[in-house]
Amino acid sequence: MRACVDVGGTKVAVSLSPKAGEPLVGRLTEPTAKTGDNDALARQIIRLIDQACAQQGVDVADVACVGVSTCGPFQLRDGMVELATPNICGGLAGPERDAPNRWLTAQLEAPLKQRFGRVRVENDGIAALEAERRWGALQGLAHCAYVTWSTGVGVGLCVDGRILRGKNGNAGHAGHSFVVDDDSSTCGCGNVGDVEALVAGSGVANRLGQSAAELMAAAQRGEPSALQVTDALCRIMGRLLYNLVATLDLERISLGGSVFWHNRDLLLPRLREEVQAHLPALTSGAQIVPAGLGDRVGDYAALALLD
């Protein structure tokens, strides 16, 4: 038995995988723990795995390994991953974001290894990229990326058939690249004017005083002001996608995450137009597509870490 964990800034999901090739079972989800001590998230994951096993009639001792696909960035403490994640750790940006804690990191790998032994933790962009290359929209491609547009903005990168990780497993944090000098848009990491501060679900709520879901619903109804804001968000996200294509000479980018997925009919044409509007020598033939695994990409991202 394998446990698959998807950690986001908004929710944590746990599923079980009895055997390779079989569907995931026992899925449980809760809002991400953000109060108490900085091991609260790890304790939440352990509890959810215990509950999933109990519901499926499985002895938790039979959980041989745990795969964790999680938002980052990461910091390593004694070789173990801790999360320095803006949408979980409130101490990174300080009082500007009015977070429910003052954590600088959230413990993750060490408590899980103490309980379960074999644990693999990867950035969710990297894990989703592995899943999309195995089962989704990036199969057979050597130059590709996965981008999540959700509570945060994350990226997984593959060039020449090799997945890029970097010194601490943080390669692909393009959501924290700067695009404007705008002191009205402070990211949860403390950056002012990065992509995540401007377009992510957390950034939209912080900057505009309404959720991304409310904004997109109004745009779907054709409200002019909401469409104008949505177009501006797509210009920023589209430029991020263009920059990835131009920098890494990518064949295809697959897109997921709750902000994108629930509004893909509205957003996808605008994002494609933004990418294709620039330098055809670099962008011609580069495809921007929805994630092949749809809204389950996070669950299968964790599974891809273990198969």
Nearest alpha carbon to residue 291 among 260, 251, 269, 270: 260
Q: For the chain, which domains are there?
A: 2-123 (3.30.420.40), 126-297 (3.30.420.40)
pLDDT in the model for residue 97: 67
pLDDT in the model for residue 183: 65
**Ranges under pLDDT 70 in the chain:** 20-21, 95-98, 182-184
Q: What is the pLDDT of residues 127-159, one digit of tens each?
A: 999 999 999 999 999 999 999 999 899 999 999
Counted residue by residue, the chain has a size of 307
pTM: 0.88
Cα dihedral sign for 7, 88, 163, 255?
Answer: positive
pLDDT in the model for residue 190: 83
pLDDT in the model for residue 96: 65
Nearest alpha carbon to residue 274 among 229, 239, 227: 239
- Which neighbouring-strand residues pair with 68? 5, 121
Residue partners of 35: CB distance under 8 A and separation at least 6: 100, 101
Tell me the C-alpha distance between 297 and 257, whole Å: 8
